[in-house]
Chains A and B, each alone.
Chain A
């Protein structure tokens, strides 16, 4: 058995290989979270609008994306966008587009549950004081739905952060890729895979601890 040798993790190497990858993983997570929640909320409102013309496309979008693997969607976007634009796009941009449209499907299911968790009386109260559908959503329903769903939305974001490692399929430079290149260049793949696992674990474990505390806090106030 070869002895493990973690001397590959000098400060300079770590910074130049791993940190740039981590920066992209975080950037991808943040953009896909914000974009995904925005599009997801619109999709959820469409599905609950009671108008067939809005409901059906939203359902096909959400159920369709949820039944295929993320890796497949990553490949699709990377193949199709250049065909539409007529010129190649970067792997990183392609990944950002993919994750935003893909995560929207998952966030929309969370938002749908959140909106449905608001008692009907709230909707009626809004209508009674003369709010339109949009105003009612904006001022009465969505603020409460967001609040109730905050822990679940954040848990989904942790899953999203883990899933960013799948950009491996198109070779975008993310956290995992950074570790892998470091390991290949310095002949220490075993140590760098272990390093990747540790870094992902520490980030995800701490975030889920925060979410757990938040969950307790919200539960007490309600």
Chain B
């Protein structure tokens, strides 16, 4: 291995499509981040909703929430991507033309991650003292109002650290989109490796960008955590 001839010029080489491999890699990075970011939005919306459902005083809603989590947690993410991309459009033909494949993958990733977010939201809500809920009712708030103004603002602050790791996970999990021809970084790595036979340099570039992405998400969440911190509350410091 010590005699390996590095060739970093490869990134400046033309792909034959009027752009360099560096350009291609950067656009692939954009796809990775877009799939992850949009998937994260889907995951937060559905995860919060399902997490709340699992804590409300209604057996039917609780069961629906539990079923949701078990369904999306016990099927591998790659299989879920195939279900959204290959199976769903066959069952609902309008999806074939009306919805781009990219969005189907976003939903696949988002729903998969929503189960994990829901689990965190439920844990966060249940970690609050029961008195919080009762205080809400005592003040005459309805159940939705209590969640909106009392429970959720505190629960979300508590679960920010585990949500940070879920946000980093969705960036990594977005890599499964390669299997349905989304032009993200793994797809780039595989194709560029094949075309150039410069796998080591190509893989190093992609690996570096994944590490940078994970770090950036981590810092972004830390920034949010600092911004929403309340003095005197959980982890609020002084």
Q: Give bound CA distance, A196 to B74, whole Å.
A: 12
Which stretch of A12-20, A71-79, A88-96 is in the interface? A71-79
- Least Cβ–Cβ distance between B56 and chain A, in angstroms: 22
A69–B175 CA distance with the chains assembled, in angstroms: 7
Number of A-B contacts (CB under 8 A): 102
Check: A144 CB closer than 8 A to any chain B CB.
no
Contacts of A200 on B, CB cut-off 8 Å? 74-76, 79
Q: How far is the CB of B183 from chain A (nearest CB, A)?
A: 15
* Contact indicator B186/A75 (Cβ below 8 Å): yes
A202 to chain B: closest residue by CB: B74
- Contact with A166, one of B90, B93, B176, B215 (Cβ below 8 angstroms): B176
User: Once the chains bind, are A193 and B82 in contact (CB under 8 Å)?
Assistant: yes
**Contact present for A68 and B79 (CB under 8 Å):** no
Closest chain A residue to B206, Cβ basis: A72
Q: Is chain A's interface secondary structure helix, strand, loop, or mixed overall?
A: helix
Q: Does A185 contact B (CB under 8 A)?
A: no
Cross-chain contact A71 with B186 (CB below 8 angstroms): yes
Contact between chains at B75 and A204 (CB < 8 Å)? yes
Partner of A67, one of B87, B93, B214: B214
Q: Which residues of B contact A156 (CB under 8 A)?
A: none
- Kindly report which residue of chain B lies nearest to residue A206, judged by CB atoms: B74
* Most-contacted residue by chain B among A67, A83, A163, A190 (CB, 10 A): A67
Shortest distance between the CB of B85 and any CB in chain A (Å): 9
Q: A190 and B76: CB pair below 8 A?
A: no
A168 on interface, CB distance cutoff 8 Å = yes
List, in ascending order, chain A residues with CB within 8 A of B73's CB. 204, 208
B1 to chain A: which residues have CB within 8 Å? 83-84
Is the pair A72, B203 in contact by a Cβ cutoff of 8 Å? yes
- Given contacts A1-B90, A2-B90, whether A75 and B75 have CB atoms under 8 Å apart is no
A75 B189 Cβ-Cβ under 8 A: yes
User: A69 near B86 (CB under 8 angstroms)?
Assistant: no
B74-A201 in contact (CB<8A): yes
Q: How far is the CA of A208 from the CA of B206 in the complex (A)?
A: 34
Q: Tell me the bound Cα distance from A166 to B173 in angstroms.
A: 11
B234 in the interface (beta carbon within 8 A): no
User: With A71-B176, A194-B87 as given contacts, are A169 and B190 in contact (CB-CB < 8 Å)?
Assistant: yes
| A-B residue pairs in contact (CB < 8 Å), sample of 15 | A1-B90, A68-B172, A68-B211, A68-B214, A69-B186, A75-B203, A79-B200, A166-B76, A168-B179, A169-B178, A193-B79, A193-B83, A200-B75, A204-B73, A204-B74
* B contacts, CB < 8 Å to A: 1, 70-71, 73-80, 82-83, 86-87, 90-93, 168, 172-173, 175-176, 178-179, 186, 189-190, 193, 199-200, 203, 206-207, 210-211, 214-215
Give A residues with C-beta under 8 Å from B.
1-2, 64, 67-72, 75-76, 79-80, 83-84, 162-163, 165-166, 168-169, 176, 189-190, 193-194, 196-197, 200-201, 204-205, 208
